[in-house]
C-alpha cells in the first residue's frame, strides 16, 4: 500500500473511531419528544401587556414624584395607550415639566392644563425585547425548579417573541400544571384597600361592582377580582349575596367578590429573593418569602400604616387578589407570610413563581402537543425497520447494477452512517421522527453521488479510456456537480433550521449532518477505495462496474 493510500486509510479509520466515541452506546444520542414522549409547547410573549405594565409603573412613579414635591391639585391617570397629567397651573408648570422630563422614553404633548405622555416607538421596541428576554430566562428558571430533566427551551420567530418549550418525560397529569406555570406572569403587588369606601363588594362582575360605587371609581383607586378558591376573607355581606344567587346560575370567572384598592403599589415581586411553602399554627398552607432591603423597608412602612390606622392590605398576583390581611404592629425584617386557602400544590406553585421572578407579559399558547412513551417506542421501531429495509434495498440494487463497484458504494454508505451518527452525537443534537426520515433521505443522497460517479466512469470506459484514466476523469468531471447539489441541499436545510420549529428543526439537523457526511464519503472514501484496488491490481484492463 502506498504512503498516500495508507494516510487515507488511517484518516478514515480515525474519523470513524472518533465518531463512534460520540454515539456508542446508542443511548448517548438524544431522542426528541415524538420518540421518547413528553409535551411540546409553542408560546408567544404578549408584548402589549409589557407596554401596559410600563404605563402603570410610570404613572405610579410620576404620582410619587408629585407627592414628594408636595404639589397639590394634580392628578395622574393612565389607560391602555397613554398617561394623562391633569390640573397643571402656571405655579406648578415648571415643576411638573421637570418631573416629566425625567421619563425619556415618553413623548409629552401639551393640551391646555393637561399633559399627555405616550411611549416612543424605540422605547416600545426596547420594552418588548426586554419582555422577550425576561420571558425566556424566567421560563427556564421555572422549568428547572419544577425538576424536568433535559428541557429544550428555544427562542424563535422573526421578532424573537416566540418560545419553543419541549419537556421530555412529562405526563398528562403534570401537563396542565406546567402549562399554568408557563402562561401566568407571576407578578406580585402589595396595595392598601381603599379608605372610607365599601372596599369589599360581593358581586360577580366588574360592571355590578362599578354600579355599587355610583358608576365611577374614586380617584386613586382600582377594582380587582378576588377568586373564590383563593379568597380567605368571607364577610356576612358576601354570604348573603351567595345565598341570593339563583340555583344553577353560572358564576362569572369564579369571582367571589371585587375589591377596591389604592393604585399605589408598596412593593412588587421584584423585591423577593426567595420563596417557599410553609404552614401556620393551624396547619394551613402558607407562602413564605424573603425580601431584599428595599422591599423590607417598604413592608415595614406598609405594616406600620396598617397597624396605626387599622387598615387592611391585599396581595395581588397577576392583578387578582389572593389574600387580604391586616397587621397589628409594624413588622421589621425581610420575612413575609401570605395566608390563603391554598392547597399544597397551589402554595408550591405560587412560591415557585415568586422565586423565579415575574414576567412582564403573559404567554399565549400557539401550539400544544403531547405524546406518550409507548407511541414514541413504536415510532422508533417502525423508523428503524424502514431504515433497514431501505438500506438493504440500496445494497441489492447497487450490487446488481454496478457489480463489484457497488461494494465501493456500500462501504462508503457504511462510513456515511457512522459519520452521521457521530456528528449528531458530538453536536448533542436531538433526533426526532422527521429526523429519522431525513436520515433515510441522506442515504439516498449519498447513493445518488456514487451513481453520478459510476455512470461517468462507464462513459469514459465506453469512450476507450484506460481504467485509471476513466476513474480519474470520472471523479474530476462530476466533482463540482456533486458539490453544487450538496451545497444547494445544505442551504435548504439551514433555512429550515433557521425558520422552522420543533419537528422541522429535527429534520433540518439530520439533513445538514447527512449532506456533510455524504460529501465526505462520496468524494474522499470512494476515491480511496478505487485507488487502493488499482494499487493491488496494477495494469488492470477491466473494471467491474
| H/E element, 77 | strand 75-78
Domains of the chain (ranges plus CATH)?
3-32+374-536 (1.20.1640.10), 39-46+123-182 (3.30.70.3220), 48-120 (3.30.70), 186-359 (3.30.1360.200)
SS (H, E, C) 130-165: HHHHHHHHHHHHHHHHHCCCCCEEEEECCCCCEEEE
SS3 for 261? strand
CA distance 352 to 287: 10
Over the range 358-378, which residues count as b (16 or more CB within 10 Å of their CB) and which as e? bbbbbbeeeeeebbeeeebee
CB atoms near residue 398 (< 10 Å): 21
Q: Which helix (H) or strand (E) holds 36?
A: helix 33-36
How far, in Å, CA of 125 to CA of 325, rounded?
A: 39
Pairing of strands 75-78, 106-111: unpaired
> CA-CA distance, 100 to 97, in Å (whole number)?
5
Among 153, 150, 118, 117, smallest CA distance to 132 is for 153
Closest CA to 545 of 481, 456, 445: 456
pLDDT value at residue 344: 86
| Whole-number pLDDT of residue 282 | 79
From residue 11, how far is each of 5, 7, 317, 453 by CA, in Å?
10, 6, 62, 22
| Cα gap 415→509, rounded to integer Å | 19
Residue-level pLDDT at 501? 64
pLDDT at 416: 87
Given strand 38-45, what is the order of strands in its sheet?
A: 152-156, 162-168, 38-45, 363-371
The pLDDT assigned to 353 comes to 76
Q: What's the rounded Cα separation, in Å, for the pair 447 and 416?
A: 10
* Segments in 205-258 forming alpha helices (H): 206-212, 236-244
Q: If we measure between CA atoms, which residue out of 489, 490, 482, 378 comes closest to residue 436?
A: 378
Residue 370: beta bridge partners?
39
φ, ψ of residue 39 in degrees (nearest 5): -125, 150
Q: What is the pLDDT of residue 202?
A: 85
DSSP code per residue over 466-509:
-HHHHHHHHHHHHHHHHHHHHHHHHHHHHHHHHH--THHHHHHH
pLDDT of residue 232: 40
Give the max Cα distance, the chain.
109
Contact between 267 and 299 (Cβ < 8 Å): yes
Task: Give the per-residue pLDDT at 107.
Answer: 94
**Cell representation of residue 434:** 422527521
Question: Are the C-beta atoms of 535 and 468 separated by less than 8 Å?
Answer: no
Query: Taking CA 467 as the corner, what is the angle to CA 465 and CA 468, rounded to the nearest 5 degrees?
Result: 100
Per-residue pLDDT of the chain (545 residues; tens, 9 = 90+): 678 878 888 888 898 898 888 888 766 777 766 677 778 888 999 999 899 989 988 998 898 899 888 888 899 998 889 999 999 998 899 999 999 999 989 999 999 899 999 999 999 999 999 889 888 888 887 787 666 666 788 888 878 889 888 887 776 667 787 888 787 787 888 999 998 777 788 888 888 888 888 888 888 889 999 887 544 433 333 333 333 434 333 334 578 889 999 988 888 887 888 888 888 777 888 888 888 888 889 989 999 999 999 999 998 888 888 888 888 888 888 888 877 777 888 888 878 777 776 777 888 888 887 776 655 667 677 777 877 888 888 888 888 888 888 888 888 888 888 888 888 888 777 777 787 788 778 877 778 888 888 889 889 888 888 888 888 888 888 888 888 888 888 898 888 888 776 667 778 888 888 888 888 888 888 888 888 888 888 777 778 88
List, in sequence order, every beta strand (DSSP E) within 272-406: 272-279, 285-291, 312-317, 320-326, 335-339, 363-371
Dihedral (C-alpha) 106, 107, 112, 114: value to the nearest 10 degrees?
-10
Rounded to whole angstroms, how far apart are CA atoms 287 and 350? 7
Q: How many helices (H) and strands (E) does the chain have?
A: 16, 20
| 113 CB-contact burial (10 Å; exposed 0-12 / middle 13-18 / buried 19+) | middle
Amino acid at each position: 500500500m502506498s504512503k498516500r493510500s495508507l494516510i487515507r486509510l488511517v484518516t478514515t479509520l480515525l474519523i470513524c473511531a472518533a465518531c463512534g466515541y460520540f454515539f456508542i452506546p446508542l443511548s448517548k444520542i438524544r431522542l426528541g419528544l415524538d420518540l421518547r414522549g413528553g409535551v411540546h409547547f409553542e408560546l408567544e410573549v404578549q408584548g402589549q401587556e409589557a407596554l401596559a405594565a410600563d404605563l402603570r409603573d410610570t404613572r405610579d412613579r410620576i404620582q410619587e414624584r408629585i407627592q414628594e414635591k408636595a404639589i397639590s391639585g394634580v392628578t395622574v391617570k393612565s389607560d391602555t395607550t397613554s398617561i394623562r397629567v391633569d390640573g397643571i397651573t402656571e405655579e406648578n408648570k415648571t415643576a411638573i415639566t421637570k418631573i416629566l422630563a425625567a421619563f425619556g422614553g415618553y413623548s409629552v404633548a401639551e393640551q391646555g392644563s393637561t399633559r399627555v405622555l405616550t411611549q416612543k416607538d424605540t422605547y416600545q421596541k426596547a420594552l418588548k425585547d426586554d419582555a422577550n428576554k425576561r420571558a425566556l430566562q424566567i421560563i427556564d428558571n421555572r422549568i428547572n425548579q419544577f425538576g424536568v430533566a433535559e428541557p429544550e427551551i428555544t427562542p424563535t420567530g422573526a421578532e424573537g417573541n416566540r418560545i419553543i418549550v419541549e419537556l421530555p418525560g412529562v405526563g398528562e397529569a403534570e401537563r396542565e400544571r406546567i402549562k399554568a406555570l408557563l402562561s401566568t406572569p407571576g407578578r406580585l403587588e402589595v396595595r392598601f384597600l381603599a379608605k372610607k369606601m365599601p372596599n369589599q363588594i360581593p358581586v360577580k362582575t366588574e360592571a355590578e361592582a362599578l354600579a355599587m360605587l355610583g358608576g365611577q371609581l374614586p380617584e386613586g383607586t382600582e377594582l380587582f377580582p378576588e377568586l373564590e378558591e383563593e379568597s380567605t376573607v368571607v364577610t356576612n355581606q358576601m354570604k348573603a349575596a351567595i345565598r341570593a344567587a339563583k340555583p344553577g346560575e353560572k358564576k362569572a370567572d369564579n369571582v367571589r367578590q371585587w375589591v377596591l384598592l389604592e393604585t399605589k403599589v408598596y412593593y412588587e415581586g421584584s423585591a423577593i429573593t426567595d420563596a417557599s411553602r410553609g404552614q401556620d399554627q393551624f396547619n394551613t398552607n402558607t407562602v413564605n418569602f424573603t425580601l431584599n432591603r428595599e422591599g423590607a423597608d417598604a413592608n415595614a412602612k406598609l405594616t406600620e400604616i396598617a397597624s396605626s390606622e387599622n387598615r387592611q392590605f391585599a396581595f395581588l398576583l397577576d392583578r387578582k387578589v389572593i389574600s387580604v390581611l391586616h397587621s397589628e404592629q409594624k413588622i421589621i425584617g425581610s420575612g413575609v407570610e401570605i395566608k390563603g386557602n391554598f392547597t399544597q400544590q397551589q402554595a408550591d406553585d405560587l412560591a415557585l413563581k415568586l422565586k423565579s421572578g415575574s414576567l412582564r407579559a403573559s404567554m399565549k399558547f400557539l401550539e400544544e402537543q403531547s405524546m406518550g412513551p409507548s407511541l414514541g417506542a413504536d415510532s422508533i421501531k417502525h423508523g428503524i425497520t424502514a431504515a433497514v429495509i431501505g438500506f438493504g434495498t440500496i445494497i441489492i440494487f447497487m450490487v446488481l447494477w454496478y457489480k463489484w463497484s457497488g461494494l465501493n458504494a456500500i462501504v462508503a454508505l457504511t462510513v456515511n452512517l457512522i459519520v452521521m451518527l457521530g456528528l449528531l452525537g458530538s453536536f448533542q443534537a436531538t433526533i426526532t421522527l422527521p429526523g429519522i426520515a431525513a436520515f433515510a433521505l441522506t442515504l439516498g443522497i449519498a447513493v445518488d453521488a456514487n451513481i453520478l460517479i459510476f455512470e461517468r466512469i462507464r462513459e469514459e470506459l465506453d469512450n476507450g479510456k484506460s481504467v485509471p484514466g476513466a476513474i480519474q476523469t470520472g471523479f474530476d468531471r462530476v466533482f463540482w456537480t456533486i458539490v453544487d447539489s450538496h451545497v444547494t441541499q445544505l442551504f435548504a436545510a439551514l433555512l429550515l433550521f433557521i425558520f422552522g420549529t420543533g419537528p422541522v428543526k429535527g429534520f433540518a439537523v439530520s439533513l445538514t449532518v447527512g449532506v456533510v457526511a455524504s460529501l465526505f464519503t462520496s468524494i474522499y472514501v470512494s476515491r480511496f477505495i478505487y485507488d487502493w484496488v488499482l494499487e493491488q491490481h496494477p495494469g488492470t484492463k477491466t473494471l467491474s462496474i
